[in-house]
């Protein structure tokens, strides 16, 4: 870990830029984006929220009143009154919980077509209890309303009733349809002219061949209602066109994590999806309170839920003002040693750093050779992807250490700069590493670059020991030679990690 000052040796600097996000995400907000802000489902407000978020789709339910008004509502009754048997004027006397008047399909189409360049309207036609004749009437009325509003490209029609979808497919082929019930194969749907498969996640897990078959037939793939993080990961990795969820904010987090990276193959990852202790198949701990060569003040504990835990897709590494043995503080130091070694490729770690004097979080790497005692530090080499000391807020350091170039003799290959709000926002810290050099990439932009053999000084192992397997380390130190005096009011302090990913060049 870097200890002292900036010495700019062998680097190229570029302006920081935010990584561009993929706009073609698969997030469909089920009955709108209602849950986070406690909005009524199937409301204009929840539709607006979904559009504001940039969701690919906002799903809603349509029924017909006795006087043939198409309304947006899920259940077959409102306040005990059957929608099939009541006029809109009577049903509209019962406002939604936010005061909205019961919305009509026309209301939704008007709202969904204004300043909306991202979000499709996923319209579910609900079957009527009055039977087939009524369902036929509803199907034609919905299709005509969409066409009258010139919304053919903006709306996708879904239904559990295959007869409704067959009518629309036959009579209105310009409209897109997806089937919900799960009892027909993609081949059968294709033969009927249905354009998408929209099944419950259990159907796809029971029939994984449907996924391959739908893709081969050119059908859209949609899945409902996906609220579990593990299921989100599963269907994102399967490349679904639509994923319908009551948790669009959570799914959006996974979408942003899973943006494909051109020319790189993902070989190791942790998205921290399961609550509890870190995954022991991926992480081990360094344990102890001996100062780690820097007079640090913490004792690193293993398997302590107080000091390292996963919750809601985030890894928390926590430093506490809690004496343990001869140390005043406890914290955690996670490593992939014994679990995963890495040589050449791309690493990305999304993290939010602690604030306050005395904190010293780091994302860094050491080689296997130091563990096997083949090499001591600094001959072994150290790669510091990110370090931050709380006494210098938002100043982020990156460094390389070797026998010839290290902080002890003030020759380390290093760079630092100020980033925005590192303790309030997640930033992505990473490297791209090959046999020619190491690029440090922050938030998708080049931050610093060190080239092997630049100026003819670092071609030997003593100058460039970075051509061998390394393991990754995540830790939060307190105090020490560089961390400095500790403000007791900042504890507990924590580094939060959203994901860790490692790639190999294709």
Which CATH number goes with the domain that contains 36? 3.20.20.190
Tell me, yes or no, whether 238 and 372 share the same domain.
no
**329 within some domain:** no
Q: What is the pLDDT of residue 258?
A: 63
Number of helices and strands in the chain (H, E): 12, 28
**Residue span of the structural domain in which 173 resides:** 27-258
Tell me, yes or no, whether 343 and 253 share the same domain.
no
Tell me, yes or no, whether 244 and 372 share the same domain.
no
Tell me, yes or no, whether 56 and 188 share the same domain.
yes
- Residue 148 CB contacts under 8 Å (≥ 6 apart), including other chains: none
Q: What is the pLDDT of residue 229?
A: 85
Tell me, yes or no, whether 247 and 377 share the same domain.
no
What is d(CA 184, CA 124) in angstroms, rounded to the nearest whole number? 18
Query: Which run of H or of E encompasses 136?
Result: helix 132-148
**319 within some domain:** no
**325 within some domain:** no
What is d(CA 404, CA 413) in angstroms, rounded to the nearest whole number? 10
Report how many domains make up the chain: 2
Q: What is the pLDDT of residue 461?
A: 86
Q: What is the pLDDT of residue 293?
A: 87
Tell me, yes or no, whether 360 and 223 share the same domain.
no
Tell me, yes or no, whether 245 and 351 share the same domain.
no
**287 within some domain:** no
Catalytic residues: 382, 387
**415 within some domain:** yes
Which of 258, 279, 294 marks a domain boundary? 258
**115 within some domain:** yes
Residue written as token pair 């050779």? 369
What is d(CA 229, CA 274) in angstroms, rounded to the nearest whole number? 8
Q: In Å, what is the CA distance from 205 to each residue of 209, 222, 223, 250, 486?
A: 9, 13, 11, 21, 52
CATH number for the domain harbouring residue 401: 2.60.120.200
Q: What is the pLDDT of residue 21?
A: 27
Tell me, yes or no, whether 116 and 246 share the same domain.
yes
Q: What is the pLDDT of residue 187?
A: 97
How, if at all, do strands 359-367 and 382-388 pair?
Answer: antiparallel
Q: What is the pLDDT of residue 340?
A: 93
What is d(CA 112, CA 29) in angstroms, rounded to the nearest whole number? 14
Tell me, yes or no, whether 32 and 176 share the same domain.
yes
Tell me, yes or no, whether 241 and 95 share the same domain.
yes
pTM (2 d.p.): 0.56
**404 within some domain:** yes
Tell me, yes or no, whether 199 and 74 share the same domain.
yes
What are the start-end ranges of the E strands in 211-367? 220-224, 242-245, 264-270, 284-285, 298-300, 308-311, 314-319, 329-331, 333-335, 345-352, 359-367
Which of 223, 258, 293 marks a domain boundary? 258
Which of 212, 233, 258 marks a domain boundary? 258
Instruction: With beta carbons less than 8 A apart as the criterion, state whether 476 and 319 touch.
Output: yes
**308 within some domain:** no
Q: What is the pLDDT of residue 16?
A: 27
Tell me, yes or no, whether 384 and 250 share the same domain.
no
pLDDT in tens, the chain (506 residues): 433 333 333 333 322 222 222 335 799 999 999 999 999 999 999 999 999 888 989 999 999 999 999 999 999 999 999 999 999 999 999 999 999 999 999 999 999 998 887 899 999 999 999 999 999 999 999 999 999 999 998 999 999 999 999 999 999 999 999 999 999 999 999 999 999 999 999 999 999 999 999 999 999 999 999 999 889 988 998 889 999 999 998 898 777 666 666 788 888 888 887 789 999 889 999 999 998 889 999 999 999 999 999 988 899 999 999 999 989 999 999 999 999 999 999 999 999 999 999 999 999 999 999 999 999 999 999 999 999 999 999 999 999 999 988 888 888 889 999 999 999 999 999 999 999 999 999 988 899 999 988 654 567 888 899 999 999 999 999 999 999 999 999 999 999 999 999 999 88
């Amino acid at each position: 870990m870097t200890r002292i000052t900036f010495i700019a040796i062998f680097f190229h600097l570029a302006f920081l830029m935010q990584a561009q996000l993929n706009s073609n995400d698969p997030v469909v907000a089920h009955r709108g984006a209602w849950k986070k802000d406690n909005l009524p489902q199937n409301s204009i407000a929840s539709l607006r929220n979904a559009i504001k978020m940039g969701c690919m789709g906002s799903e809603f339910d349509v029924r017909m009143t006795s006087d043939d008004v198409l309304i947006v509502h899920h259940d077959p009754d409102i306040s005990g009154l059957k929608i099939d048997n009541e006029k809109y004027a009577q049903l509209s006397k019962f406002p939604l919980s936010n005061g909205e008047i019961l919305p009509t399909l026309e209301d939704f189409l008007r709202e969904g077509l204004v300043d909306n360049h991202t979000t499709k309207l996923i319209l579910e036609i609900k079957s009527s209890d009055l039977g087939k004749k009524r369902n036929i009437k509803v199907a034609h009325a919905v299709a005509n309303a969409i066409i009258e509003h010139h919304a053919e490209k903006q709306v996708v029609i879904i239904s559990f009733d295959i007869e409704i979808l067959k009518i629309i497919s036959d009579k209105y082929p310009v409209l897109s349809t997806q089937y919900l019930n799960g009892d027909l194969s993609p081949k059968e749907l294709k033969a009927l002219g249905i354009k998408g498969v929209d099944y419950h996640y259990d159907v796809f897990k029971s029939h994984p061949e449907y996924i391959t078959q739908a893709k081969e037939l050119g059908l859209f793939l949609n899945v409902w209602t996906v609220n579990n993080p593990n299921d989100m990961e599963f269907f994102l990795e399967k490349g679904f066109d639509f994923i319908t969820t009551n948790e669009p904010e959570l799914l959006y987090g996974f979408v942003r994590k899973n943006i494909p990276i051109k020319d790189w193959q993902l070989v190791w990852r942790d998205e921290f999806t399961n609550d509890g202790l870190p995954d022991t198949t991926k992480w081990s701990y360094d344990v102890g309170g001996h100062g780690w060569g820097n007079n640090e003040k913490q004792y690193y504990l293993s398997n302590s839920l107080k000091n390292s835990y996963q919750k809601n897709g985030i890894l928390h590494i926590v430093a506490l003002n809690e004496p343990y043995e001869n140390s005043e503080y406890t914290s955690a130091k996670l490593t992939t040693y014994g679990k995963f070694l890495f040589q050449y490729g791309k690493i990305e770690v999304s993290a939010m750093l602690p604030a306050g004097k005395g904190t010293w979080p780091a994302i860094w790497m050491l080689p296997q050779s130091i563990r096997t005692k083949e090499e001591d530090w600094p001959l072994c080499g150290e790669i510091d992807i990110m370090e931050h000391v709380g006494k210098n807020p938002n100043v982020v350091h990156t460094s390389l250490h070797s026998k010839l170039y290290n902080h002890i003799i003030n020759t380390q290959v290093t760079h630092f700069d100020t980033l925005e709000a590192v303790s309030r926002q997640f930033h992505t810290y990473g490297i791209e590493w090959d046999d020619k050099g190491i690029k440090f990439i922050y938030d998708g932009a080049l931050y610093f670059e060190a080239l092997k053999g630049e100026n003819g000084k670092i071609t030997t192992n003593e100058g460039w020991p970075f051509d061998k397997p390394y393991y990754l380390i995540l830790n939060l130190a307190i105090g020490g030679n560089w961390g400095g005096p500790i403000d007791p009011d900042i504890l507990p302090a924590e580094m939060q990690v959203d994901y860790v990913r490692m790639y190999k060049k294709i």
